[in-house]
Amino acid sequence: MTTTDHPSADELRAEVRDWLRDNYEPLPKSSDPWVSSPERIAWLEKVLDAGYAVPTYPTEWFGRGYPNKLAAVIGQEFAAVKAPGSRQDKYNIPANTILALGTEKVKHDLLRDFLVERSRTCLLYSEPGAGSDLASVRTTAVRDGDRWIVNGQKVWTSGAQTADYALLLARTDWDVPKHKGLSLFIMPMKQPGIEVRPLVQITGESHFNEVFINDAAAADDYLLGGEGNGWRALQTALAYERSIMGDSGRGSRNRKADSLIELARENGVLDDPAVRYPLAKVLAMRELNKLNNARAKASADLGTSSSIMSLGKLAMSKILHTEAAMKTQIVGARALLAGPDNPVADDVNFLTLNAFFTSIGGGTDQIQRNIIGERVLGLPREPDPDREIPFRQARRS
């Protein structure tokens, strides 16, 4: 053992391998990504109790207090056997946000359930008039004793139909500038006053939703980061979301369509220089983005936002669109076909359409460029005449 009572990387690797060998069996495949099966929940309970779910968390909150470099060993061993549930300290948006910003009560009430997926969450941020400019949200939360009464409308909310809780951005003060009058809550979704309406996406799926909120309630103990600090709290949650989206894009429903190399080989064009050069270029982009994301996470403290995450998300958007264009080129005229009789072409078209999800979700490509320009490159901000005036006086669209 080291002087910090942490194991060496080799010791930890051997421990995790032995534990996985003794405990892990592949889980049944889920047909709904927004619902966790009893088998998955039971497995996540075991991972959490073993200390592998959030190894960088403090020991009092299910972690081991490991540094990122040591915790990475756990993620590597889980990935090697395709076992889920480890390293949620990298990607579990609600759990990581409430650990960083939540009251003791909300952590005691919800942290474990979020980590084992007994409770699922959605993100109530965007509104019909506040998408790219989230600081202009008009959903209101008004204090009523030890709770807040919420009214408004949200849109583009993934998983809202089945979510138990939501991370809710709402306006709690109209008499200060827009960024200073916001608060971030954990709000129960299964309560009167919340109506969820699915939206049909370009892919034919309905993962996104409109959410109408009429006199719903959020507990004051479930306010994250304090009243009026919602914008800063939101940046923490968004950093985790952008980190996830920068790491990987949604894959294909068909293994051959998902691999550029395999798709090119199957279509007899892997040796074509006109295909090999752009193929190598996009694979290099993926590797570079992986290294950039690792650098960003290594430099970010737990519970802080990182503008570097915007680089990864923007790069992944470019990668997905480039790959989709390449796959269309490889498949050729078959890309005009669709349906179950043409599974490879159907999936290539699915990937082409679904690439726009990463271009929009978690902040559009244009917003990421603004963030990179202002916070990474130090360029001057774009003019915003409403930024320093009370939101009540701001222009209404």
Reduced DSSP (H G I as helix, E B as strand, rest coil) percent helix, strand, coil of the chain, to 5: 50, 15, 40
Between CA 369 and CA 245 the distance in angstroms is: 15
Beta bridge mates, 171: 140, 182
Q: Determine the 3-state secondary structure of 142 from DSSP.
A: strand
Environment class of 227 (CB within 10 Å of its CB; exposed 0-12, middle 13-18, buried 19+): middle
Length of the chain: 397
Which are the contacts of 22, defined by CB distance < 8 A and separation ≥ 6?
none
Instruction: Please say whether the beta carbons of 97 and 236 come within 8 A.
Output: yes
Listing DSSP states for 244-279 in one string gives HHHH-----SSHHHH-HHHHHHHTT-TT-HHHHHHH
Strands (E), 6-128: 121-124
Instruction: Please say whether the beta carbons of 131 and 156 come within 8 A.
Output: yes
What does DSSP say about strands 182-188 and 140-144: parallel, antiparallel, or unpaired?
A: unpaired
Between CA 137 and CA 168 the distance in angstroms is: 11
Listing DSSP states for 200-228 in one string gives --TTS---EEEEEEEEEEEEGGGEES-TT
Closest by alpha carbon to 78, among 2, 10, 17, 157? 17
Q: Which of 77, 127, 241, 323 is catalytic?
A: 241
Q: What is the DSSP letter of 127?
A: B
Closest by alpha carbon to 222, among 150, 319, 312? 150
Is 45 a known active-site residue? no
Which amino acid is residue 345, in one-letter code? A
Q: Determine the 3-state secondary structure of 168 from DSSP.
A: strand
Q: Residue 141: CA atoms inside 13 Å, Cβ hemisphere, count? A: 26
List residues with catalytic annotation: 241
